[in-house]
Structure 1
Amino acid sequence: MPFVLPLLGLAVFAQGTSEFMLSGLLPDIARDLHISVPAAGSLTSAFAVGMVIGAPLLAMLSMRWSRRRALLAFLVAFLLVHVLGAVTTHYGVLLATRFVAALANAGFLAVALATATAMVPPDAKGRATSVLLGGTTMACVAGVPAGALLGELWGWRSAFWAVALLSLPALLAILWSVPADRAPRFSDAGPGTRGELRALRRPRLVVLLLLGALVNGATFCAFTYLAPLVTEVTGIGAGWVPAVLALFGLGSFVGVGLGGRLADTRPVPLLVAGGAALLLGWTVLALTAGNPVAALVLVFVQGALSFAVGSTLVSQVLYAATGAPTLGGGFATAALNVGAAIGPWCGGAALTAGLGFRAPLWVSALLTALALVLAGVARGARRRTVRRGVPSAQDAPA
């Protein structure tokens, strides 16, 4: 693996930390800026909206640039808005910085995925993807607790400064290691924006993107409501909540590593077995959440399975998107974030309906079941198409 890939992963780690760290900083931000906690919570919503909008939009806008220029522009913007967020005393400015940071994050991740897969052999896209997504999982394991600790020791602004500083090594690595020559864009020999958008309409890609949204929706539905689950159902004290969240993050890190090893050689068995195991795991966790030992084991296992399946789906999008080398990563990023937004909303709706703190786990099981049904329908459609005539590999649903 090229040395620049782990440093790109460090940038993704900083960006993932920025995305998730507010959960532990909202009360401090609310007190400091003299706003309500729900208003502070809108900072998280602004980031989520920016991620969904930014991934495809900025991937398209960056197609006139070389990959190095695009990565530098997005990372510099991300760094600067965190500096501005760290010094501002105005809620409106901070809200705007969260939205812009998410746009930069989404654009960076989309281009980084295209860059990483272009810098490795054609059969190593899964491993390259796992290096980048490993940064996100490490944000869950170490970045979020570290941000909360910094906020407790030196205030919420110190966490913003730390994210900006973490971005600097990746900035230097891009300057030194990413080629300056132009990547194929629509003004060169590449397929162009319209060509890439046409390529993304192929059934296999559409199915993979929908599967990614459903699996990630299940993941973040359960993850978002782990804290009340373990305190109210499992009976673990509130002081153990950060450790439980870190345990899920540690499982996700293991899962990304496993996905990276198998996604290039055995993706279909991993997705089939992993998807079935995910459905079983969410169901068993919902039934046994009152047992602390079972709950803790399954939190780790489900974190590993969720990110093994999720990262493999992302790599399969990149394999399938040969006609959309830039927008493939952008739409994969958008699909994951659509799931990350819809999943917690569905879980919250179940809680509001009075279904209890186990309800988000049942919602996660339902979303996973929908993903398995969709995959089965797509497989059946492909077999029927094959009977009528052999389709191209790009047009066949997975």
Structure 2
Amino acid sequence: MTRQERHLVWLLGAVQLTHTLDFMILMPLGPELIGKFNISAAEFGAMVSAYTLASAAMGLLGVLWLDRWDRKRALLLLYMGFIAATFSCGVANGPTWLLLSRTVAGACAGLMSAVVMAILADRVPAERRGRAIGTVMSSYGISAVGGVPLSLALANQWGFRTPFWAISALAGILWLLSWRILPAVDHHLTGARGKGPNAPAPLLSMPGLPLGWALTFSVVFAGFLLIPYLSTFMVGNLGLRLSDLPWIYLCGGAATLFTSRWIGALVDRHGPPRVLGILLVATLAPFLLFTHLPILPKAGVAALFVLFMTLTSGRAIPTIALITSRVPPALRGRYLAVNMAASDGASGLAAWTSGLFITTTPEGALVGFGPMGFLASSVSLLALCILWVLGRSAAPQRAAQT
């Protein structure tokens, strides 16, 4: 990777980190927000879901305009809206204000992710793109290892508003750096105005492109059938204490941080389809083992949790690398916006689906979590079938241009 590419990747990774942290920080602040604003658990749940639902809705709307602009300009505009909305969360004086602020932040963040990935695809050659995507996606691990604990420490010291102000301040600095350093990313506009192979075409008319959305949906859906209920299962069924969970999640975040770039390097070396296929098969073991786990020592539970999170989160890297390589630049922004909507919709729908089948005993144990492991494994096998069909479909010549 060249020096210019490294600077670009690290800058985009830092941008991604701010919105990942903004999404993650609300959930551990739940007890304080419920008490501060005197709201119910269901109302707090609405604040959490508003972020992803707004992101999904804006992803669909992004089809109408996202590829019509220089990607740098689009990113700066969306990032400015995100900063304002996150700062607004810090000054909210009621639940309605906070809900609206979270909605705007989610709407901007979803399209930001699509633009970030489109910039990576436009500026980093395909043979180095896997490592670049892995580096940017390591923001999840950084958030889990350092960002969330630091934000919670700020909240404990100065109140729930402080983390939102800190995130918006960091994002403001990154906005200035992006404005100053990020080059114009407008090659797709030149191609779109021409009559050559990069001329735009309807997204649904090109072979294999809708299959990319189906692949993303199935990969995310399988993971989120289980992820929202892992902490409840570990406490209610495996006998862990609530005080054990931060360390368990710290281990999972640290593992994700270190393996993201390694998985990205494997994608560059062996190709996205092969790496994704291996990860889809490999995740069957932790899906089935973890959901049927007997009571074990804390170290054993932590080890399986690390395996679960590493493999599950790692599947996104070859998925994004694969679909970006098949989309021509003139369609890439819009395509990835819809892809982000598919990802957000899959996470919400999967959590709701599991909730229909899982019940909780008076002691707090989950009933029905085991069958969800079989369902998640089945959906992963479905994703493997979609990957095979996607590989069989003829990629258009114009989609091969990177």
**Bin of the TM-score, shorter chain as denominator length:** 0.7 to 0.9
Tell me how far 1:99 sits from its aligned partner: 0.8
CA distance in 1, matches of 2:373, 2:208: 24
Match of 1:249 among 246, 253, 265: 253
Mapping for residues 270-285 of structure 1, pairs under 5 Å: 270-285=275-290
Code of the aligned partner of 1:371: S
Q: Which moved more, 1:179-188 or 1:9-18?
A: 179-188
Q: CA RMSD in A?
A: 2.9
Q: Which moved more, 1:358-367 or 1:159-168?
A: 358-367
Whether 1:379 aligns to 2:388 is yes
CA distance in 1, matches of 2:106, 2:321: 22
**Deviation by residue 1:16-59 (Cα, 9 ceiling, x = unmatched):** 11112111112212222232232122111111111111224235
CA distance in 2, matches of 1:149, 1:353: 31
CA distance in 2, matches of 1:214, 1:371: 7
Whether 1:101 aligns to 2:110 is no
* Partners of 1:283 and 1:362 within 8 A in 2: no
Match of 1:209 among 213, 219, 225: 213
TM-score between both structures, scaled by the size of structure 2: 0.87
Whether 1:345 aligns to 2:345 is no
Mapping for residues 262-341 of structure 1, pairs under 5 Å: 262-266=266-270, 267-292=272-297, 293-322=299-328, 324-341=331-348
Task: Report the counterpart of residue 357 of structure 1 in structure 2.
Answer: 366
Mapping for residues 1-398 of structure 1, pairs under 5 Å: 1-58=5-62, 60-180=64-184, 182-185=186-189, 188-189=192-193, 198-266=202-270, 267-292=272-297, 293-322=299-328, 324-352=331-359, 357=366, 359-360=368-369, 362-376=371-385, 379=388, 391-392=394-395
State how many pairs are aligned: 389
1:394–1:307 distance in 2 versus 1, CA, 3 Å: farther
CA distance in 1, matches of 2:30, 2:268: 40
CA distance in 2, matches of 1:348, 1:394: 44
Code of the aligned partner of 1:155: G
Tell me how far 1:395 sits from its aligned partner: 11
Runs of at least 5 residues in structure 1 that lack an aligned partner in the other structure: 386-390
CA distance in 2, matches of 1:380, 1:282: 24
Code of the aligned partner of 1:25: L
CA distance in 1, matches of 2:125, 2:228: 37
* Partners of 2:131 and 2:265 within 8 A in 1: yes
CA distance in 1, matches of 2:70, 2:390: 39
CA distance in 2, matches of 1:17, 1:124: 26
* Partners of 1:59 and 1:107 within 8 A in 2: no
Tell me how far 1:377 sits from its aligned partner: 6.0
CA distance in 2, matches of 1:113, 1:190: 24
CA distance in 2, matches of 1:290, 1:126: 38
* Partners of 2:130 and 2:321 within 8 A in 1: yes
SS in 1 for 2:166: helix
**Deviation by residue 1:285-319 (Cα, 9 ceiling, x = unmatched):** 22224223432111101111112212110111101
* Partners of 2:214 and 2:386 within 8 A in 1: no
CA distance in 2, matches of 1:168, 1:214: 35
Tell me how far 1:347 sits from its aligned partner: 2.4
Tell me how far 1:201 sits from its aligned partner: 4.9
Tell me how far 1:374 sits from its aligned partner: 4.4
SS in 1 for 2:256: helix
Runs of at least 5 residues in structure 2 that lack an aligned partner in the other structure: none
1:246–1:382 distance in 2 versus 1, CA, 3 Å: closer
Q: Which moved more, 1:96-105 or 1:50-59?
A: 50-59
Tell me how far 1:110 sits from its aligned partner: 0.9
Percent identity of equivalent pairs: 21
1:362–1:393 distance in 2 versus 1, CA, 3 Å: farther
* Partners of 1:33 and 1:90 within 8 A in 2: yes
SS in 2 for 1:265: helix
CA distance in 1, matches of 2:373, 2:256: 16
* Partners of 2:209 and 2:326 within 8 A in 1: yes
CA distance in 2, matches of 1:277, 1:73: 40
Tell me how far 1:361 sits from its aligned partner: 5.7
1:372–1:181 distance in 2 versus 1, CA, 3 Å: closer
